[in-house]
């Protein structure tokens, strides 16, 4: 075998070189389809007016920014985002953050609303959403299709998963992560042989199979798949004709494929991210108010589990033209104080005290106000003397002077949503339109 300079490559390296070239050729040709139509019912009321992938995270991002950043950072930039449930907020975000940012003709990130192309129903499941848009796959004719969810928080170089898929000569590869067995009943769990070929796929069962030799852990599906294109098209076509199917990848297609196709589990913890020290073990399903709150609260720690400050693997989002955040002396002459807090651009803490919180963009906190262990999603106004504790304040809320949230359970339950974990979530509405318009 001859290298690009004309020199001979030793035989022991030739297989590796061919594989490297194949990966380099396949990755940019891979088509990604991102499942972004979920309701996120367990995140109510944050999903009352928006889909789950559009829920804000970390002061300036949306949940969908993580999967799209992973795809683009990995060299995959042919991406369809399949939307459905209350998609307006998501569509606006995609337009501002992603569609306008990728104007080149050979790259695209496009939202695809449900169009009823093959029937009179909306998407019945994840597999059905791909089936209804199979014409997009036929038109692109990619070698591989990446089917990824839009509502998890993690960093992943997907090109490494593609390399694993090619090396195993797999028909389907499922991204997996070890997880505490006591919590595995909420997910799909796979059982594998020593080569990581999947023998059995269990979708949200009460007693999932543990990892051999590790009875305290199961191998959880992350809801991310790499399919050979022909295999995907054949299987979704067959599934569409099954009247008893729920038309879901995890519940229907993958359990059937384990017996007839080469289905492998990719170990996410082996994924290497540039600039990340140690094992890559961070993956969060922020599907409940408590898990969403905890994942956000971790970000304010000095050494958070998720490093958003890694320039080698950036999380991309809308580039707003906000002024710098500031902490100033308030109207009463009190100093503004902020401790262990993420403070979004354009926000002002004026003579207030903020501790262990995440404050989104363009939020004003007035003199004498106290905010502790809380998450403010942005464009909020906290008036003088208000006190807020262990609360999620949704986008655009105005909290009145001297109001207290998170201190009196019965009063909170009457006015707002109180999660079973005790975290208070304010409902959208009740804000001063003129003030919010000025903040925007």
- Say which residue, 134 or 97, is predicted with more confidence: 134
Distances (CA, A) of 63 to 26, 38, 174, 213, 378: 27, 12, 21, 35, 15
Average pLDDT over all residues of the chain? 88
428 is a domain residue: yes
Residues 267 and 173 in one domain: yes
For residue 393, give the CATH number of its domain: 2.160.10.10
Q: Within this chain, do residues 113 and 30 fall inside the same structural domain, yes or no?
A: yes
In this structure, the answer to whether residues 226 and 81 fall within a common structural domain is yes
Strands of 104-216, DSSP E? 108-113, 144-149, 152-154, 172-180, 188-192, 198-203
Here the CATH number for the domain that contains residue 48 is 3.90.550.10
pLDDT tier at 4 (50, 70, 90 boundaries)?
Answer: low
Rounded CA separation 6/289 (Å): 59
For residue 191, tell me if it sits in a domain: yes
* Residue 319: inside a domain: no
Examine the domain organization and report whether 367 and 257 are in the same domain: no
**152 and 266, same domain (yes or no):** yes
**Mean pLDDT value of segment 52-74:** 95
- Boundary (domain end) residue, out of 279, 296, 313: 296
Q: What is the reported pLDDT for 190?
A: 93
Q: Specify if 312 maps to a domain.
A: no
287 and 333 both lie in a single domain: no
CA distance linking residue 360 with residue 58, whole number of Å: 8
Predicted pLDDT of residue 100: 63
223, two tokens: 């809801």
How far is the C-alpha of 72 from the C-alpha of 334, rounded, in Å? 46
Residues 360 and 289 in one domain: no
The predicted pLDDT at position 331 comes to 84
Helix 158-167 / helix 11-26 crossing angle, nearest 10 deg: 130
Asked, for residue 84, whether it belongs to a domain, the answer is: yes
User: Of 323, 298, 378, 281, nearest to 61 (Cα)?
Assistant: 378
| Average pLDDT of span 91-115 | 75
H/E stretch holding 128: helix 126-131
Name the strand (E) or helix (H) holding 136: helix 134-140
CB 187 within 8 A of CB 224: no
Count the domains in the chain: 2
Residues 35 and 176 in one domain: yes
Q: Mention every residue, 6+ apart, whose C-beta is less than 8 A from residue 10.
A: none
- What pLDDT score does 117 carry? 54
Residue 314 belongs to a domain:
no
Residue 341 lies in a domain: yes
What number is the average pLDDT over the span 318-333? 91
Worst-scoring range by mean pLDDT, 13-17, 20-24, 222-226? 13-17
Same-domain check for residues 125 and 209: yes
Identify the domain containing residue 384 by its residue range.
326-439
pLDDT, average across residues 108-116: 76
User: Are residue 255 and residue 335 in the same domain, yes or no?
Assistant: no
Per-residue pLDDT at 8:
57
CA dist 150 and 172 (Å) reads 19
354 to each of 230, 325, 423, how far by Cα in Å? Answer: 55, 14, 18
Same structural domain, 268 and 200: yes
User: Looking at the domain assignment, is residue 409 inside a domain?
Assistant: yes
Q: In this structure, are 141 and 235 located in the same domain?
A: yes
Residues of the chain by 3-state class (helix, strand, coil), percent to 5: 30, 25, 45
Q: What is the pLDDT of residues 123-181, one digit of tens each?
A: 678 899 999 999 999 998 999 999 999 999 999 999 999 999 999 999 999 999 999 99
CA dihedral (306, 309, 312, 314) positive or negative:
positive
Q: Are strands 172-180 and 217-228 parallel, antiparallel or unpaired?
A: antiparallel
Report the pLDDT averaged over residues 249-255. Answer: 90
Among the candidates 296, 312, 342, a domain finishes at 296
């Amino acid at each position: 075998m001859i290298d690009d300079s004309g020199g001979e490559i030793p035989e022991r390296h030739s297989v590796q070189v061919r594989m490297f070239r194949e990966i380099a050729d396949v990755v940019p040709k891979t088509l990604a389809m991102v499942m972004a139509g979920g309701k996120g019912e367990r995140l109510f009321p944050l999903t009352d007016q928006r889909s789950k992938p559009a829920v804000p995270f970390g002061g300036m991002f949306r949940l969908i920014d993580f999967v799209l950043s992973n795809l683009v950072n990995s060299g995959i930039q042919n991406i369809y985002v399949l939307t459905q449930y209350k998609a307006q907020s998501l569509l606006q975000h995609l337009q501002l953050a992603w569609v306008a940012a990728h104007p080149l003709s050979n790259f695209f990130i496009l939202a695809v609303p449900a169009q009823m192309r093959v029937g009179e129903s909306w998407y019945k499941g994840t597999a059905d959403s791909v089936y209804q848009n199979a014409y997009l796959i036929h038109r692109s004719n990619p070698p591989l299709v990446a089917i990824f969810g839009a509502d998890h928080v993690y960093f992943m170089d997907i090109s490494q998963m593609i390399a694993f898929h090619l090396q195993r000569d797999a028909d389907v590869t499922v991204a997996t992560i070890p997880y505490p067995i006591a919590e595995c009943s909420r997910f799909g769990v796979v059982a594998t042989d020593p080569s990581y070929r999947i023998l059995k796929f269990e979708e949200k069962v009460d007693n999932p199979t543990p990892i051999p030799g590790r009875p305290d852990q199961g191998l959880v599906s992350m809801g991310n798949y790499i399919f050979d294109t022909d295999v995907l098209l054949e299987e979704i076509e067959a599934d569409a004709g099954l009247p008893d199917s729920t038309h879901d990848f995890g519940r229907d297609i993958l359990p059937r494929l384990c017996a007839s196709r080469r289905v492998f589990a990719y170990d996410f913890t082996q994924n290497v991210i540039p600039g990340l020290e140690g094992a890559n073990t961070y993956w969060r399903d922020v599907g409940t108010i408590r898990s969403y709150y905890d994942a956000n609260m971790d970000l304010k720690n000095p050494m958070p589990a998720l490093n958003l400050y890694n320039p080698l693997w950036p999380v991309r989002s809308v580039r707003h033209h906000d002024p710098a955040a500031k902490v100033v002396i308030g109207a009463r002459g009190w100093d503004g104080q902020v401790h262990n807090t993420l403070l979004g651009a354009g926000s002002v803490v004026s003579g207030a005290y903020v501790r262990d919180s995440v404050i989104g963009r363009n939020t004003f906190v007035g003199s004498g106000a106290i905010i502790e262990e809380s998450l403010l999603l942005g464009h909020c106004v906290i008036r003088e003397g208000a006190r807020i504790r262990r609360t999620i304040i949704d986008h655009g809320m105005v909290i009145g002077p001297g109001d207290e949230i998170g201190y009196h359970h019965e009063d909170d339950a009457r006015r707002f949503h109180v999660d079973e974990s005790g975290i208070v979530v304010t409902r959208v509405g009740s804000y001063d339109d003129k003030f919010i318009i000025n903040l925007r």
